[in-house]
Amino acid sequence: MVRLIFHLQTLLNRIENLLIKDLLADLEEELEIEIYFQQQDLNLIEYKQVDLVITDNYTTAKLLSERKTIQVIYWYRGWNDNLETNNQSDFTVVVTEDSKLDSLPDNLQERAVVIPFGVKEEFYKSISEEKLITIEKRRIIIPGYGLTRKEIEFLINAVELINDTCPIEVIILSRDELIFDTEVAYKVIDIESSQERIIQYASAELALVIKGKRNYRLTTLELMASQTPIIIIDKDISWNSIIDDYSELIEFNRKQIGVRALKLLRDNTSAKKLIKKGWEIAKSHQWQKTIQRWSDLITEESADIDLGISKERRIDIILVNNNKPKILKDCVRNIQENTDFNYRIVVIDNYGCRSSLQDFRSSSGLVIIEPKKGLGYAQAYNYGIKAGSSQYILLMDTSFRTTVGWLDSLLSILQRENEAAIVKPQIWNEDKERIGLELNELFEQTSFQSEEEWLNTNRAVYLFGRELVADLGYFDKYYSFYFETIDYLLQAKRIGYNFYDSKESNLYKVKQEAGFTVKESQELINDRELFIRRWKPADLK
């Protein structure tokens, strides 16, 4: 698993704090990794066990890059950071706005990527009328974050020209204590939460925004998503790329701003056209795109990182544990006693059983991953696959017990097929009855099979080459606990992989507690419905 530190040394304001918090949480879920957030100065010794560092401190980025043992991404946030024009470091640079590129030396611009903050989903949702703020006057909002006092005063003076004709209340969003000499009613508000911003945006009949240098500020996009008509004011009339043809881009002139504001407050048709166009623009700048761009960048930067398992090892045994400590301990001991092949066990421990494996911790052949929350099998398998790098992958859970030589036959078949296959052993219960379907029975679907047999086949043991993951991708995380493996087998069959049941490899399944919990029953229903919608098996009843 990639070990990543997000290091921001520059102080964050309230909104930035919220954005960073949500960004890291969503990246952890998207990439299925743990991200450590640091804000203070760090001694470089602390980075020894880290694979990737994202930092907003240029000196830190440079020093870490020179060590050649840690991947580095430098997040340039627009501050004077003693940037060097002749630095030969090869780290990637991230900026959140096109305008920040102009401040970078040429050598850093060449390596820069732009990942703007997008609009979160809740801003696109309509809010109920009872939550809207209602007043007798017409309500205009000015997002003052990032504006100077002089710029805000200019906008207030512009709407003061129409205040006698159309009484107005101006809402100024700012962290500063601002006092203006004006006849216009105004309030200065510092908003912390997204929900508060949504209510303020949606309650306004008009917003006045001073444009950024090259692209929309996040606040402007949030206003558009909240369906608030906007007048965008251009201070230098140099924004030729305008930007998605948003027609209310006007020059920095008090009278013109006042006239346009009055027209939009009186003309509902013009306001609706702006709302529609703004909505379309905002939909092209969604938060999920931000997460996807960061995810792609981190994945690309991490491509050459050793993810924790030596490439010399031949097989990763990915062991999903949803059982009690003794069952896990017995399973690990059983694998060690009966396995001669070069292997490593990766335990995805959903049950918090780390202490039960203390006897094995001295072994370099054991990795324990403890997710922050319990994972379904699909996500757990994905965790394990990403944590390894061996030539072969074997999936199982802790309810299985191996026998002497169990891997030999499986590997012999896989190697014979040049790894273009998936191999399954024979699975027996404690009464020595074979359970689950053979793979040819599963794929033929010519006779009725009980759901129990399908579930036993889904939760069997499977060996395949890592090339399958490269060809097919990871398990579908939308499955909770059932059908995820059969779904994967069917996808593999569709792209030409062969399937074999080894008659010489035998595993036993220990008896489990009978029945399903209420939660498990609902998960089974949901997973069954997803599987049937996708594959429509005629004999799954």
* DSSP per-residue string spanning 375-417: --HHHHHHHHHHH---SEEEEEETTEE--TTHHHHHHHHHHHT
Instruction: At 493, give phi and psi (nearest 5°).
Output: -60, -40
Residue 129 contacts by C-beta under 8 Å, 6 or more apart in sequence? none
CA dist., res. 49 & res. 445, Å (int): 50
CA dist., res. 249 & res. 509, Å (int): 69
Query: Cα Rg for the chain, rounded, in angstroms?
Result: 30
Q: What is the pLDDT of residue 104?
A: 85
DSSP string across 354-377: GGGGGGGTT-TTEEEE--SS---H
| Parallel, antiparallel or unpaired: strands 52-55 and 71-75 | parallel
Per run of 10 residues, the mean pLDDT along the chain (length 541 residues) is 77 77 86 78 60 86 79 83 69 86 83 89 81 83 89 92 92 91 92 86 91 74 91 65 51 85 88 87 87 84 53 74 81 88 84 61 67 82 84 90 89 82 90 83 58 81 90 86 88 89 90 67 83 67 42
- Range list of β-strands (E), 121-191: 138-143, 168-173, 185-189
Q: What is the pLDDT of residue 213?
A: 60
Name the one residue in this structure whose structure tokens are 């709407």.
Answer: 159
Copy the structure tokens of residue 112: 């820069």
Copy the structure tokens of residue 210: 């001073």
Containing 421, the helix (H) or strand (E) segment is strand 421-428
Q: Which of 268, 149, 140, 277 is nearest to 209 (CA)?
A: 140
CA dist., res. 24 & res. 3, Å (int): 13
| Parallel, antiparallel or unpaired: strands 206-210 and 138-143 | parallel
* Bridge partner residues of 72 (DSSP): 53
- List, as own/partner pairs, every contact residues 37-43 make where C-beta atoms lie below 8 angstroms and the sequence separation is at least 24, other chains included: 37/5, 37/6, 37/8, 38/5, 38/6, 38/7, 38/8, 39/7, 39/8, 39/9, 39/12, 40/9, 41/9, 42/7
How many CB atoms lie under 10 A from the CB of residue 306? Answer: 9
Q: Could you tell me the sign of the dihedral formed by the alpha carbons of 145, 151, 153, 157, in that order?
A: negative
- List, as own/partner pairs, every contact residues 66-73 make where C-beta atoms lie below 8 angstroms and the sequence separation is at least 24, other chains included: 71/301, 71/302, 71/304, 71/305, 73/297, 73/298, 73/301
Instruction: At 296, give phi and psi (nearest 5°).
Output: -60, -40
Tell me the three state secondary structure of residue 96. Answer: coil
Question: Is the whole model's pTM more than 0.75, yes or no?
Answer: no
Q: What is the pLDDT of residue 318?
A: 93
Containing 423, the helix (H) or strand (E) segment is strand 421-428
Which domains are seen in the chain, by residue range? 3-114 (3.40.50), 121-285 (3.40.50.2000), 315-535 (3.90.550.10)
Residue 72 contacts by C-beta under 8 Å, 6 or more apart in sequence? 52, 53, 54, 55, 61, 64, 65, 89, 91, 92
Burial letters 428-466, b for 16+ CB under 10 A, else e? beeeeeebbbbbeebeeeeeebeeeebbbbbbbbbbbbb
Name the one residue in this structure whose structure tokens are 């009613």.
Answer: 185
* Bridge partner residues of 321 (DSSP): 349
SS3 sequence, 199-245? HHHHHCCEEEEECCCCCCCHHHHHHHHCCCCEEEEECCCCCCCCHHH
- List, as own/partner pairs, every contact residues 510-518 make where C-beta atoms lie below 8 angstroms and the sequence separation is at least 24, other chains included: 510/327, 510/399, 510/400, 510/401, 510/430, 511/429, 511/430, 512/399
Residue 267 contacts by C-beta under 8 Å, 6 or more apart in sequence? none
